[in-house]
Structure 1
Amino acid sequence: MKNNEFYGCSQPLEDVDLDACEAVLRHKLPSEFRQHYLKYNGGVPEDSLIPGNDEWEPLEIAGFYPIRHRRSAAGSQSSLLIEHYQLMCAKDVIPDHLLPFAYDPGGNFFCLHLCDGSAHFYATDGFDPARSVAENFVKAQRRLAGSFKIFMDSLMHNSEYDSDEWPE
Structure 2
Amino acid sequence: VEDEDIKPRASNKFYDSEQAINTADLNEVEKLLKIKIPVQLRQFLLHHNGGMPENNAWLDPEGEFEWVVIHELIPVKYYKKFNNNKNYLMPFKAADLWGRKLLPETFLPFAIDAGGNYFCIDINNGKIYYYTLDTWSDNLSLTDNQDKSTLFLCNSFNEFISKLVCEDDLDDLYGL
Interval of TM-score (by shorter of Structure 1 and Structure 2): 0.7 to 0.9
User: Within the alignment, does 1:30 sit opposite 2:65 as a pair?
Assistant: no
Match of 1:50 among 33, 55, 58: 58
Corresponding residue SS for 1:69? coil
Match of 2:69 in 1: 60
Pick the aligned partner of 1:130 from 124, 139, 158: 139
Q: CA deviation at 1:155?
A: 0.6
Pick the aligned partner of 1:97 from 88, 93, 106. 106
CA-atom RMSD in angstroms: 1.9
The match for 2:124 is 115
Structure with greater helix share of residues:
2
Where does structure 1 differ by over 6 angstroms across 4 or more consecutive aligned residues?
none
The residue that corresponds to 1:16 in the other structure is: 24
Q: Percent identity, aligned pairs only?
A: 29
Name the CA shift for 1:116/1:3 in 2 (closer, same or farther; >3 Å): farther
Aligned residues: 159
Indicate yes or no: 2:157 matched with 1:148.
yes
Report the CA distance between 1:28 and its aligned residue.
Answer: 2.0
Query: After alignment, is 135-144 or 26-35 more displaced?
Result: 26-35
Give the drift of 1:117: 0.7
Q: Distance in 2 between matches of 1:3 and 1:22?
A: 31
Summarize the Cα distance change of 1:35–1:3 in structure 2 as closer, same or farther, 3 Å threshold: farther
Gaps of 5+ in 1: none
Give the TM-score taking structure 1 as reference length. 0.87
User: What do the CA deviations read for 1:41-98 (whole angstroms, capped 9, x no partner)?
Assistant: 0111111011144211001000011101123xxx345710000111111122111111
**Matching residue within 85, 91, 95 for 1:86:** 95
**Residues 111, 122 of structure 1: 8 Å contact kept:** yes
